[in-house]
Structure 1
Amino acid sequence: MATVITEECINCGACEPECPNTAIYEGGAQWELNGATTPAIKDDLYYIVPDKCTECVGFFDQEQCAAVCPVDCCIPDPNIPETDEVLIERARVLHPDQTFGAEYPSRFRKG
């Protein structure tokens, strides 16, 4: 599942710099992928672009936005269920210059 920022967000911005995929944007900000700019998903709150979110799979064993969120509003989106395999493939596409070995970090492999 892509991570989503819920309405409880206080717009502190702590999450944005933590994302390894630059998938988090301030409300109202346009987002970019593959050179194309797209209108904001939300106008009033920070948001996560599902096409860029890997739930930090390939980078960390926990979503970094959730780890720093002071109000616990970064959660897996129940409307967009995705598997570990889908998320690591997205990481590979987003970061073609990086190698993700067989033991890449993933919240799916946690404890």
Structure 2
Amino acid sequence: MKLHIDWTACDGRGLCTELLPETLTRDPWGYPVPRDGAREPAIHPELQAHAERAARLCPTLALRLRSGE
């Protein structure tokens, strides 16, 4: 799975970085930054439930999970 961040919808509240700290950190303005430097970070299988929760609770619906290579 890959985590897609819709940058036009994101307003930098940082909730996703709190719910998925293994995958995301935040920049000085609160916007999520993938820890692996990828545009769409890979979600390890053991973190899938956490990623689904982050996408579901995103206040601006800026996160989506995609099956990816």
CA distance in 2, matches of 1:70, 1:22: 20
Q: 1:10 to 1:63 in 2, by over 3 A?
A: same
SS state at 1:76 partner: strand
CA distance in 2, matches of 1:44, 1:13: 5
The CA RMSD measured in Å over matched residues stands at: 3.0
Aligned to 1:46, which of 32, 47, 50? Answer: 32
Structure 2 stretches lacking a partner, 5+ long? none
Q: TM-score, normalised by structure 2?
A: 0.62
Q: 1:61 to 1:47 in 2, by over 3 A?
A: closer
Aligned to 1:58, which of 46, 49, 65? Answer: 46
Q: What percentage of aligned pairs have identical amino acids? A: 18
Instruction: Report the Cα offset of residue 46 of structure 1.
Output: 1.4
Contact 1:14 1:65 in 2 (8 A): yes
* Bigger-Rg structure (1/2): 1
CA distance in 1, matches of 2:19, 2:50: 14
Q: Deviations over 1:72-110 (max 9, x none)?
A: 1111257xx14xxxxxxxxxxxxxxxxxxxxxxxxxxxx
Greater RCO (CA < 8 Å, at least 6 residues apart) = 2
